[in-house]
Amino acid sequence: MRDSNTPVLVGVGQVTERDPDLDTASSPLDLMEQAALLATEDADLSREKLAHLDALVVMETFREYTRNPPESLAARLGAQQASAWLMCHGGNGPQFLVNYFSEEISKGNMRFVLLAGAEAMDTARRLTKSGNKPNWSIPSHGDAQYLIVVKQKVGAECAGLNSLCELTHPEAQLCPERKLSIRHHQERFLSSRPNP
């Protein structure tokens, strides 16, 4: 028998553009929207159901062109009422999000969450090489709110966890040497972070 708060992955979507025409190539936001709609279809849900999202989280891209990707994606999907977060880039970020929001669902704090991410580095590089600049900027009401930020001193080795759960440093990175430290401090993070 399944508990009503058991987290279940109900839909997935993936989009890959290989060597697209530069005039019609998708931005990272375009790719996330397409993948989200594929995940909605995979879950056998209507697009209108996305208006009921509790949270929408976007993995930060390595070259961010949009001021507030979570807000922009939520607007495209009709999910403006969802708590919209940006997760700083890092190799363990997607799994952290799955774990974190699974726990939030199991506690009954949320019921419906969308996790998204995309990269278009090759397309951006090809555009730049052709003498153009990616025109992927979208106006926003403000900066994205980071779900978690780990501060890292420039030029310093990753000797420990300087700060966790501070929504103040947009250039944060999760470096591999900190993965164990983050896991060690994750319990403190989860108990100290305000509910979205």
pLDDT string in tens for the chain (196-residue length): 467 889 999 999 999 998 888 888 889 999 999 999 999 999 999 999 999 999 999 998 877 778 899 999 999 999 999 999 999 877 788 888 999 999 999 999 999 999 999 988 888 888 889 988 877 888 888 888 888 765 444 433 333 333 333 333 333 344 443 444 444 455 455 555 555 5
In DSSP terms, which residues pair with 56 in a beta bridge?
84, 114
pLDDT in tens, 70-95: 999 999 999 999 999 999 877 788 88
Structural domains present in the chain: 28-148 (3.40.47.10)
Q: What's the pTM value of the predicted model, to 2 decimals?
A: 0.74
DSSP string, 38-102: HHHHHTT--GGGGGG-SEEEEEPPSS--SS-HHHHHHHHHT-TTSEEEEE---TTHHHHHHHHHH
